[in-house]
Chains A and B, each alone.
Chain A
Amino acid sequence: MQAVSPLAKTTTTKDESQEQMDNSFSTGGNGDFPDLLESIDFGNLFVGINDGDVLPDLDMDPEILADFSVSGSGEESEMNTSVSNGKVEDNTEKNEEDKVLGSGSGLDSSLSTRGEEIVSKGDESVVVNPVSKESDNGRKSTQAKNNQGKRKVKVAWTSELHRRFIQAVEQLGVEKAVPSRILELMGIDCLTRHNIASHLQKYRSHRKHLLAREAEAATWSHRRQMYRAAGGGGGKADMTPRHAPTMGFPPITPLHHQHFRPLHVWGHPPMEQPLMHMWPRHLAHSPSPPPPPKWPTSPPPHPSYWHHHNQQRVPNGLIPGTPCFPQSLAPARVVPGIPPHAMNKVDPGIVVPTRQSGPHPLFDFHPESIDAAVGDVLSKPWLPLPLGLKPPSLDSVLGQLQRQGVAKIPPTCA
């Protein structure tokens, strides 16, 4: 009988409603919904208040709707207006939305919580707080008060909201993302173009900031480590003196200096898991079916992002270009008499040995040139890798070394 047992504390007065509720549950008919909603949550909670047709849930529905659907957000304004009127017809309309959007039980629990809160507020047309539990869908906290942005309402950019924003921006391309398009893609009616525009501006500037800082920190920290390693190993005296990074950031020690970790989401506490991991699962609520995400498969034009994933799926932008395959290196073979332009693919840092041709192996290398190259690497570790090969995972390398009996690196006794 009681389909919603914890919520519907049966009262004798609401017996028929309960039956209706049952019917509604089993049949899922539209017309039953108003009663259903009443009886489930409000009927019991608003025993005194509820007249049957007049529903406090009118107050709540906009909140529910906002939570369960961003696509249906267009209804919100209607609902807002209808809220004050408190008409049943609107209720029916909303109920359909609810049915579409929310599962029955989920709806119930949320309704009940809200219902409780609403009791205290009575017949207010606007309810703000109770929806806090459902705010994970990126609803603005002040949404209830926002009537189509007649006045500039402060947007609370929740992480979910922000995620959708990023989604939209990514789809459009960060440089080409236009607020109006972003707004369309996000499909959240409560956001005005102005909101988006200002958020976009902040986002872009923040990204640049983070990019520069990360690059600087990575190279600077790496350089610091290299000096330590090189100093311990060779004790080279010609080490370039360390100079403070121009940006003056505190020594961040990014272990994965070549891989961008998800950076601190501006405006929000640092996310541990990249939001993008959850991205596909939340597609159900997205208004327009998003195209398959471009960014995981294509090399991003922009290295670091707030929502970057921990996995090194994204090749980071610091690694310069693509690895030079040996085909391009072939002409760079050391044969005397080759004018330099034939060897344009060779790292210019490498000195071309000049020696007589003869029975020597074709790719003999002068110790000096090797020494020069090696010294180059040791003294200027911040230089980009000449070939830009994909680095192996640190764990596997260390594991391999340990298996072979190499305990510490850099080895103390070189």
Chain B
Amino acid sequence: MGDSSASYIHMVQHLIEKCLIFHMTKEECMEALSKHANIEPIITSTVWNELEKENKEFFDAYAQSKSKDDRMSEEETSQMIQKMISESSKDSDN
């Protein structure tokens, strides 16, 4: 039983990481995993918490970037994106 638990937890972690790439919140992640992967939210939540404990730095930065995102307005974001695009096109040109 321990064996499958380990794999299961690993799977949940994998899924959570995918959600993190989507910049989901914990709640959103719980919902998504429950809906798409039939994972009980309580499990998602627990694994998320444990992951957060183990990767505090990451989650801190993650939360920061998310709050920054929240604060930014649409225009600011578009401007930022535009700037990035131009920078990267400059790079690609070089």
Which A residues form the contact surface with B (CB < 8 A)?
Answer: 222, 225-226, 228-230, 233-234, 253, 255-258, 323, 325-327, 329-333, 335, 337-339, 341-342, 346-347, 350, 357, 362-363, 365, 367, 369-371, 373-378, 381, 383, 385-394, 396-398, 400-401, 404-406, 408-411, 414
Contacts and interface: CB of A to CB of B under 8 A. Distances in A.
A329 B74 CA distance: 18
A388 B10 CA distance: 11
B65 A327 contact: yes
Given A257-B6, A335-B81, A374-B33, 16 more contacts: A225-B4, A226-B7, A326-B65, A333-B77, A357-B74, A362-B74, A385-B13, A385-B14, A387-B20, A390-B54, A391-B10, A391-B13, A396-B53, A400-B46, A404-B46, A406-B43
Given A222-B10, A233-B37, A339-B85, A401 B42 contact: yes
Interface in B65-85: 65-66, 69, 72, 74, 77-78, 81, 84-85
Contacts of B53: 392, 396
Contacts of A362: 69, 72, 74, 77
Interface in B1-27: 1-11, 13-15, 17-24
A367 B22 CA distance: 11
A332 B21 CA distance: 8
B38 A414 contact: yes
B4 A329 contact: no
Interface pairs A-B: 8 shortest CB-CB: A225-B7, A392-B50, A414-B38, A326-B65, A374-B36, A387-B17, A373-B18, A363-B23
A363 B55 contact: no
A325 B58 contact: yes
Contacts of A347: 18, 21
Interface string B25-49: 0000000110011111011001101
Contact of B21 (A228, A329, A335): A329
B38 A234 contact: yes
A45 to B, nearest CB: 56
A404 B33 CA distance: 19
Nearest to A406: B42
Contact of A397 (B14, B23, B47, B78): B47
B9 to A, nearest CB: 5
Contacts of B22: 350, 363, 365, 369-370, 373
Contacts of B69: 330, 333, 362-363
A370 B36 contact: yes
B38 to A, nearest CB: 4
Given A374-B15, A377-B14, A392-B53, A409 B8 contact: yes
Nearest to A375: B36
A331 B50 contact: no
Select the residue from B21, B47, B64 with max chain A CB neighbours within 10 A: B21
A350 B43 contact: no
B9 A408 contact: no
Contacts of B54: 389-393
Given A362-B77, A389-B54, A400-B50, A229 B8 contact: yes
A411 B21 contact: no
Contacts of A385: 13-14, 17
A393 to B, nearest CB: 8
28 contacts: A222-B10, A225-B3, A225-B8, A226-B11, A229-B8, A233-B37, A255-B3, A325-B62, A326-B58, A329-B23, A335-B77, A339-B85, A370-B19, A370-B22, A370-B36, A371-B36, A374-B36, A381-B14, A385-B17, A389-B58, A391-B13, A391-B54, A392-B51, A397-B47, A398-B9, A410-B5, A411-B40, A411-B43
Contacts of B8: 225, 229, 409-410
A324 to B, nearest CB: 8
B50 A397 contact: yes
Contact of B81 (A229, A234, A253, A342): A342
Nearest to B33: A374
A381 B11 contact: yes
Given A229-B7, A234-B38, A257-B6, A330 B49 contact: no
A401 B11 contact: no
Contact of B3 (A253, A350, A401): A253
Contacts of A383: 14
A229 B58 CA distance: 28
B21 A386 contact: yes
Contacts of A331: 81, 84
